[in-house]
Structure 1
Amino acid sequence: MTISQAELDIEWTMVTDAEGLLAASTALAAGHGPVGVDAERASGFRYGGEAYLVQVHRAGAGTYLFDPIGIEDFAPLQRAIGDAEWILHAASQDLACLAALGLVPTQLFDTELAARLLGFERVGLGAIVELLLGITLEKAHSAADWSQRPLPADWLEYAALDVVLLPDLRNAVAAQLEAQQKTEFARQEFEATRTKPEKPRLEEPWRKLSGGNSLKTPRALALARELWEGRDALARERDVAPGRLIPDSSVVAAASANPRSKGDLARLRDFKGRASRSELDRWWAAILRGKTTENLPGQKRRDPDSIPHHRFWAQRDPDAAARLDAVRARIEQESAARNIPLENLLTPDTLRRLVWRPPVDRSETGVALRLKELGARDWQIGITAPIIAEAFVDLP
């Protein structure tokens, strides 16, 4: 029997200050079982990736929606639930913004990641809630501007539902993992997600411009860099997503055109965005800096650990291409047999790095050691190392 979201009677408590936080933390500490946790950001609207709402649900305690704007210190909440298992859906999306508030799990259960390991065709929260719990959720507000205040009541209901159902969903997913003998696989994946180190800040973040690879000359790259840095400074100052000022495509278009005057820039059809004309002086100043600087960037420095794109292996190293085709075919067979997506059984990057520079010792032990170096989990190594070693026997 399927029930709709409208048939659910959801109650929650809004927490907006330190006093409310203490009361909610006391209630949550007295609750029992794992804790459903979620966070809402304002991606695409605000400059950073901060959480603008944190939702927590625990059996015996209830559901609480925390407004970080009015709460300076989340330490009481961390103390209340820090030792419990946290249930998140697609945890990798929220762990960073939660950590920025001082909220860090010591145990994790990721329902989305578990659904992938189970081979579910659709792994969105609504899809697996309907499949396993028989509840149909409305698709709404996931891409909303959660930084606005006050938040509409229907948004808050949506946010509460994101955590209220997580404990029951966790139990249903765990039963499926046990039935498919994938509980240990999931445990290792959850821990890898929980402990994954934060990515280091890029030395030249402007090089991540979408479409920037079309810029080939040092001067065009300098123009793009100055425009990107000017946009980033304004976005930070206004606390707005940079792309809402001018999109990456406008930065690339202006850098490619190398306009001769401010008027030329204003007339450039592909230079658009909400601040493309209101901040024209700013953009023109950035272009002048790019035109005159002697600090000209070269093409992006190649990572010494990088490998060629596999599309070109047949030309650059036919033996490596043959290894990739043969090994990937065997891993795909194992993926299908175990009902685990290929990218979860062994990431494409790990597989490519292994076969591009195979270990000197191509035995199962040697392959296993190399996979470990590349970051594969023990369960992945246990399944794939024998398959790869066997494939290597007949390969160059």
Structure 2
Amino acid sequence: MAESETENPVTGHPVIDTREEYNAAVALIAAGSGPIGIDAERASGFTYSQRAYLIQIYRRDAGTFLFDPPALGDFSELNAALTDVEWILHAASQDLACLREVGLHPARIFDTELAARLLGFPRVGLGTVVEELLGIHLAKEHSAANWSNRPLPESWLVYAALDVELLPDLFDIMVEMLHESGKTEFAAQEFQAALDKPAKPTRSDPWRKLSGVHAIRGQHNLAVARELWLARDELAQTLDVAPGRLVPDSSLVAAARVSPTSRQALAALREFSGRATRTELDRWWAAVQTGLTTTDLPDTRVAGDTLPPPRAWAERNPEADQRYKAARAAITALSEERSIPVENLLTPDYLRRVCWAPPADATGESVGRALAALGARPWQIGATAQLIADAFVDALQTIDTPVDPAS
């Protein structure tokens, strides 16, 4: 922290919101040394968009810089200056999309959260990791703040600056820890996978994300839920407000379940509450009417590739159940041996899928190919494929061995 205070060419924590200040900051950052610590603050839960409302960067021999993305727009010059520089982030998957939205595309990253997972830290939040490795208590009281506010309070800016000023120190320690534990290559593959992960495709029926939609019965009721969701989404986009702050999901679901037949009945519905339920009542009533009268009715069930929950496997697919129990036990033991969480050693969904529908000849090689097709990294395949194949053999022997009724 002392280093950033002496190096930063300005006092306090001013936010850079003009191109002149931005260009000067780019030159300073480019002249710095070592990797950069970078973070972004959004306004999740407050705004509709997931854009960055503050981007923080720290680099040794340069200082700390707080940028205002809505005011500045494009960051391509900064991106060009950092092409060959390693970027340190904590929980990179949360910030990469909003950084790319303004033209910041890292070529190499180091994710301190992922590193902490691979190193077996019991808790991997930034505050916990900083306290564990640097002995500094990092308050997180502003993590859920509305960062679209202007001007930003100084206390928020101090918090935001600390989030990046400590990242290079964490980087130095964690690089050594990964090396000592033989996990450097594991980490490199995980970081690259985070960079390469494609954006989730847009759902054709995003309204089905409504919390509680499973409780709605009947196609017209589902159509009402769809139209209410679409109406709310349109208003939320227009106002740039998080949809749930206008009308909560529970209110939309309650209205869809009842499907009131008049505007007055909708207004009288006790469960239909929220800051915009009365001011936009005409909008919601129009959506209900559309849902009740449309001939474009949604399916009550949606086909997908979701597997049954493992608790149902014993009845629905006993052999898969035996394979899964044997393989999961082996993976859990390896997780404890290597001090790597089970979910990082191998994505649980990958394990379930290969257990539900294994290769015809389940060898280490064929299981490895199946895992690779699902998206497992080479280090994960090397650690688990043969183990899973052996577990399948053990499970098959259990299935084939009859139980002695007298035992």
TM over 0.5, yes or no?
A: yes
- Matched with 2:394 is 394
d(CA) in 2 for partners of 1:236, 1:74:
24
- Matched with 1:81 is 82
**2:223 equivalent to 1:225:** no
SS in 2 for 1:120: coil
**What do residues 220-276 of structure 1 show as CA deviations (whole Å, max 9, x unaligned)?**
110000000000000011110000000111110100011122121112121111111
**2:351 equivalent to 1:351:** yes
- Matched with 1:178 is 179
Mapping 1:188-337, distance limit 5 Å: 188-303=189-304, 305-337=305-337
One-letter amino acid matched to 1:132: L
Maintained 8 Å contact 1:21/1:76: no
d(CA) in 2 for partners of 1:309, 1:287:
34
Mapping 1:102-113, distance limit 5 Å: 102-113=103-114
One-letter amino acid matched to 1:311: R
d(CA) in 2 for partners of 1:126, 1:7:
20
RMSD: 1.6
- Matched with 2:137 is 136
One-letter amino acid matched to 2:349: D
Maintained 8 Å contact 1:13/1:63: no
> TM-score if structure 2 supplies the norm length?
0.93
SS in 2 for 1:94: helix
One-letter amino acid matched to 2:229: W
**What do residues 18-77 of structure 1 show as CA deviations (whole Å, max 9, x unaligned)?**
111111111111111001010000001111100000001111111100001211221111
Percentage of matched positions with identical amino acids: 57
d(CA) in 2 for partners of 1:8, 1:79:
23
d(CA) in 1 for partners of 2:343, 2:74:
39
Maintained 8 Å contact 2:359/2:370: yes
Maintained 8 Å contact 2:140/2:159: no
Maintained 8 Å contact 2:85/2:108: yes
- Matched with 2:399 is none
SS in 2 for 1:144: coil
Which aligned segments of 4 or more residues in structure 1 are displaced greater than 6 angstroms?
5-8
Structure 2 unpaired stretches of 5+: 397-407
Structure 1 unpaired stretches of 5+: none
d(CA) in 2 for partners of 1:23, 1:50:
24
Maintained 8 Å contact 1:324/1:355: yes
Maintained 8 Å contact 2:4/2:63: no
One-letter amino acid matched to 1:312: A
SS in 2 for 1:39: strand
Structure 1 residues 8 and 74: CA distance shift in structure 2, 3 A: closer
One-letter amino acid matched to 2:143: S
Maintained 8 Å contact 2:267/2:278: yes
Mapping 1:115-130, distance limit 5 Å: 115-130=116-131
SS in 2 for 1:256: helix
How far the C-alpha of 1:9 sits from its partner, in A, is 5.1
Aligned residues: 391
- Matched with 1:367 is 367
Maintained 8 Å contact 1:18/1:72: no
How far the C-alpha of 1:13 sits from its partner, in A, is 4.8
d(CA) in 1 for partners of 2:177, 2:253:
48
Maintained 8 Å contact 1:345/1:380: yes
Structure 1 residues 27 and 9: CA distance shift in structure 2, 3 A: closer
d(CA) in 2 for partners of 1:296, 1:158:
49
How far the C-alpha of 1:8 sits from its partner, in A, is 9.2
How far the C-alpha of 1:14 sits from its partner, in A, is 2.5
- Matched with 1:339 is 339
d(CA) in 1 for partners of 2:221, 2:69:
42
